[in-house]
Structures are given as structure tokens and as C-alpha cells.
Structure 1
Amino acid sequence: MTFLFKRNPKNPPELIKALNEQVLKLDYNSDSNKKYQDECSRFLKQVKVILHGDDENEPQPDQISQLALEIYSTDCLYNLMVNLKKLDFDSRKDVVILFLTLLRRQIGSKSPTVEYILNQKPEILGLLIRGPESSEIGLICGQILRDCIKFESINKFVLHSSLFWNFFKYVQISIFEIATDAFITLHDLLTNHKKLVSEFLARNYDNFTSSINKLIQSNNYVTKRQSVKLLSELVLRRQNQAFLNQYFDDTNNLKLMMILLSDKLKNLQIEAFHIFKFFVAKPKKSQKVLDVLIKNKKNFIAFFDTFDIQSDSTTIDERDYVLGEIMKLPDIVRSE
């Protein structure tokens, strides 16, 4: 594939060496930065052709293998991520292609890039997690990270990192696109691998519940609704039983859903109902939860008598069931 390097012929290892050299020279404050950006762009395009071919040539497995080995041995992925903001827009897109192509590359049952990241350069994941802190590269980092966490081992690493909890702040960033993208990543982290997530939620009940409840109480409608929907999705998973047993015995959670049921926005009311119904339906309720339900029995009956659910018949049946169960609760005996 010598045609690739007419201006400066190089084999794949030499190409990665040259790319690294230019990446490490990038500097916003340098008059030569544009020249280094252009060189990085040129080398990244050559890398892309090796990985994917072009109109005239198919990618060659041996060259891809050489390229990948050199990228791992020189920490090229790390260097690219550290300096991602300094690259031009098109080069950033080429970095995404490079990263994701290597990530999906398998040799037998092994994923060399996954092993490299976890065993040699986990700092890459730290950079990706902190991506939303930069409006320039936040969306790119989110895209790459979501592909990374499709692998359970990486998802586990991120969940057990102290940086994971930053996502509960990132989803409240004032830049809508960044906040939305961060919530997509948070959602994927908590839903991609069911068994892994069930163990995480059970071990981190207090931190997670506190964090998600703060989002549910946000003044931002989008944040509030997305958070309730995420919680509702987790509640519906039987794998999360250990977490749910704690969640539905906690009166703070019940009171929060009661507040949402009285929200003026119908969508939030309905989302809250899909969580509230489990407090009522739980066969063995904690005494504290039962006390709250009994204390508010009349209010619940009045509310659900007029709770208009313009939805599927299943949701209407659930509303009627909840109302029926509430009516079965004992009345408060008032002393004379």
C-alpha cells in the first residue's frame, strides 16, 4: 500500500510514530499549531485508509495488525485523547473512527483494545468520562465511551470508578446537547448489563438513591422526566430485586413519588404512577411505608378517582388495581 504515502512513504509503525510526534507538538499558543494540525490530519487520513481501504484497495489484515500493535505500544490512543481539543474538527471525527474500529476488532474471542485500555491505559476511560466538562469534545467522548461500555468489563470499570458519580452533575450542565448526551451515557451504564448493574445498585443503594432523587427534584423538566423514566426502567427489572427491596421500604422515596403525582404536568404524573404503584402492590410493606399510605388514604382515593390516564388499557387496569388496594387499607382510628 505504498500508494498511501506518496508525499512521505511510511509503513504502519512509522506512520503511527509520525502521528504521535505531531500530536505531541500540538499547542494552542504556538504559531506552528496549524501546521501540526494539518500534519495530524494527513496522518489520520492515512490511518483511516489502512483500516478501511478506499475505492481502489481493500484493507490488509497484516497492515491493520501492525498498525494496532504500534498504537498500543506507543500509547497513541491516549495521546490522541489527551490532545483531542487541539485537533481540528475533521481530525476529531477521524479519531472516533480509529478508536471505534480498533475497539470492535477481535482476534478469536479476545478484544485487544479492550484489554489494552483496562490493563495498560485505564486513564483513557477517565478522559472519556470527563468529556462533558468540555463543550468542544463532550459529544465525541460520549460517543466513544458508549461504544466502550458495550463491553461488560469496561462498563464494570466505569461503574466502580469514583468518576461515575460525576454523571449526575453532567446531566445538569447548562448546555442542552452535552447534558442530554451525558444522560444517554448514564442510562446505558445502568441498563446495558443487567447482572452487573443489579449488583452495583444493591451495593450502592444510598449513593445511587440520593443521586437519582436529587435529579428527580431538579427544576429542569427534561432532567426530572428523564430521571423518573430511568428509575422506572430499573424498577421494572427483576434482576434489581435487592435494590428494589430497599427502595420500596424507604418512605423518602414514597413521599417523592407522591409529590410527583401532584405535579401539574401529566407526563410526570404518569411516570411517577409507574413507580408509586409498586409501593402499593408490594406484598410485605415496611411499617413506615404502610403508615404513610394509611395516613393519606383519603387523599389517594380522591386523587385516583379523578386520575385521567389516556393510555393503554393495561395502565388503566393498573390504576384501578392501585385504587382498589388503597381502599382496602384500614382507616385511621381517631381518639375522641
Structure 2
Amino acid sequence: MKGLFKSKPRTPVDMVRQTRDLLIYADRSPDSRESKREEKMAELCKNIRELKSILYGNSESEPVSEACAQLTQEFFRENTLRLLITCLPKLNLEARKDATQVVANLQRQQVHSRLIASDYLEANLDLMDILIAGYENTDMALHYGAMLRECIRHQTVARHVLESEHMKKFYDYIQLPNFDIAADAAATFKELLTRHKSTVAEFLSKNYDWFFAEYNSKLLESTNYITRRQAIKV
């Protein structure tokens, strides 16, 4: 008899909705009972792992395009991406890695031949502020940096970052004493300056003087050998 009452397997849409609810809980419930919170956070981490499995497949099966499309559509229908980014510091290390891979994959998922991540980010460009500021947090820098590089695959996002005050911060981030974070910032800086050639050309035509003055004085003429190497690679 027990088999008759098995719960139906969750659809990708169900999983995104449940993940969103758990993220809302994580975002708003710092003072809830410890045991309940631990249980909810464990469930959230498990859900993120399952979302990753749908998008990337696993050892037993390849990703199914229809499931990926449903997941992607639901993910960007509401603010799940924003919640995932803002709640990332509250997740454990493995869940952060999974979340980073989920965000990366979603940037490439097409629904009806459209990259809906691009549309969402164009309407939520302030998320780039969070990702870029992540370089100032040792625990979050590499996760947010990886997400940022995937987001700037979209030309509108790259243009926003190039034209923002954040560009000047990269000169400081590339000189950070933590080698891994400095290298990650340099990789993002390079991506910004090489991926979308027409946007970069437009940016440099407007900002040539200050950009190269900073580039030369802070990076190419740095007393730090590693910083100089990073600058030459760009």
C-alpha cells in the first residue's frame, strides 16, 4: 500500500519555487530556532545541488533541454537570482560552489532562442554592484568573481560595468595581497576589455586618458612583480 502514496517527483519548476522559498527564509530568518534553521539550510543546499544536476546532468544522465528551459524560465520569472546572490554568504562552501555553477550555466541557457538571463540582468544591473564588491570579501571573492565573468558575457552587462565607477576599483583589486583574488580580479578585468570589442572600443575612446594613466601607474609600473605580470597579460 505504501507505494500507492509515493509523492510525485518534483518538476524543475517546483524545485526552483521551493529553492526560492528557502532562500527567502534564509534571507529573513536570522533569529529562528537553531535546529529548524539548520534543517532548512540543509534542504536549501540540497536543492541547489539538484538544480545543478538538472542543468549539467550527472553520472547517469545528460541534461534534458526541456527541463533546463523550464528551470531557467522559472528562475528568472521572479527574483531567485537576486536571492541566490545575496544569500550566498549564508551557504556552506559546497553550496556556494554549486550555486556559482548554477548561475554560470543559466547565463547560457536559451528559452525560445532567447538568453533570458540577459533580459533579467539588464533590468537588475545593480546585482553587478554586489558581485564586484565581492572582491573585498575574502570568503566570497572567487565565487562572486566567477559569477561576474559569466554575467559579462552579456554585452549590456559588460557595458554597464565598463561605464561604472567600478572600473577604477579593479586597479586596486588586481593589487590585493591575496594572490588568488588578485588573479581572479585580473581575469575579470581582462574579460571586460576583450570580450565585446565594439563596446570596449567605445569605452576606450571616451576614457582613454584616465584609463591608461591608471593602468600604467598602478599596474605596469607597480613595484609588485606579480601585478606587473597580470597587467602585461591583459
Change (3 A) 1:226 1:62: closer
Task: Compute the displacement of 1:188 (Å).
Answer: 1.7
Change (3 A) 1:63 1:224: closer
- Structure 1 letter corresponding to 2:125: P
CA distance in 1, matches of 2:14, 2:171: 42
| 1:210-255 per-position Cα deviation (integer Å, ceiling 9, x unaligned) | 321331333322113433x15xx6xxxxxxxxxxxxxxxxxxxxxx
Matching residue of 2:130: 127
Is contact 2:69-2:109 (8 Å) kept?
no
Out of 118, 125, 129, which is 2:122 matched to?
A: 118
CA distance in 2, matches of 1:49, 1:184: 27
Matching residue of 1:174: 177
Is contact 2:72-2:111 (8 Å) kept?
no
Task: Compute the displacement of 1:108 (Å).
Answer: 5.7
Is contact 1:23-1:36 (8 Å) kept?
no
Is contact 1:28-1:86 (8 Å) kept?
no
Is contact 2:13-2:74 (8 Å) kept?
yes
Out of 146, 149, 152, which is 1:149 matched to?
A: 152
Matching residue of 1:24: 24
Task: Compute the displacement of 1:57 (Å).
Answer: 4.4
Task: Compute the displacement of 1:76 (Å).
Answer: 0.8
CA distance in 2, matches of 1:7, 1:127: 39
Deviates more, 1:156-165 or 1:130-139: 156-165
TM-score (norm 2): 0.84
CA distance in 2, matches of 1:187, 1:136: 22
Matching residue of 2:139: 136
Q: Who wins on radius of gyration, i.e. which is larger? A: 1
- Structure 1 letter corresponding to 2:70: Q
Structure 2 runs not aligned, ≥5 long:
1-5
CA distance in 2, matches of 1:107, 1:15: 18
CA distance in 1, matches of 2:144, 2:74: 23
Out of 43, 47, 52, which is 2:47 matched to?
A: 43
CA distance in 2, matches of 1:180, 1:174: 10
Percent identity reads 32
Is contact 1:129-1:164 (8 Å) kept?
no
Matching residue of 2:3: none
Matching residue of 1:10: 10
Is contact 1:48-1:97 (8 Å) kept?
yes
Matching residue of 1:304: none
Change (3 A) 1:174 1:16: same
Task: Compute the displacement of 1:78 (Å).
Answer: 1.0
Secondary structure at the aligned position of 2:63 is classed as coil
Change (3 A) 1:168 1:38: same
Out of 191, 194, 201, which is 1:191 matched to?
A: 194
Higher relative CO (CA 8 A, sep ≥ 6), structure 1 or 2?
A: 2
Equivalent positions of 1:234-249 (< 5 A) are none
Structure 1 runs not aligned, ≥5 long:
1-5, 234-336
TM-score (norm 1): 0.60
Matching residue of 1:92: 96
1:224 aligns with 2:228: yes
Task: Compute the displacement of 1:68 (Å).
Answer: 1.6
- C-alpha RMSD over aligned residues: 2.4
Change (3 A) 1:191 1:58: closer
| 1:136-179 per-position Cα deviation (integer Å, ceiling 9, x unaligned) | 11111112222222333322121112222211111122212111
Q: How many residues align?
A: 224
1:206 aligns with 2:209: yes
Secondary structure at the aligned position of 1:104 is classed as coil
Secondary structure at the aligned position of 1:190 is classed as helix
CA distance in 2, matches of 1:206, 1:52: 44
Matching residue of 1:247: none
- Structure 1 letter corresponding to 2:177: S
- Structure 1 letter corresponding to 2:11: N
Task: Compute the displacement of 1:91 (Å).
Answer: 0.7
Change (3 A) 1:55 1:217: closer
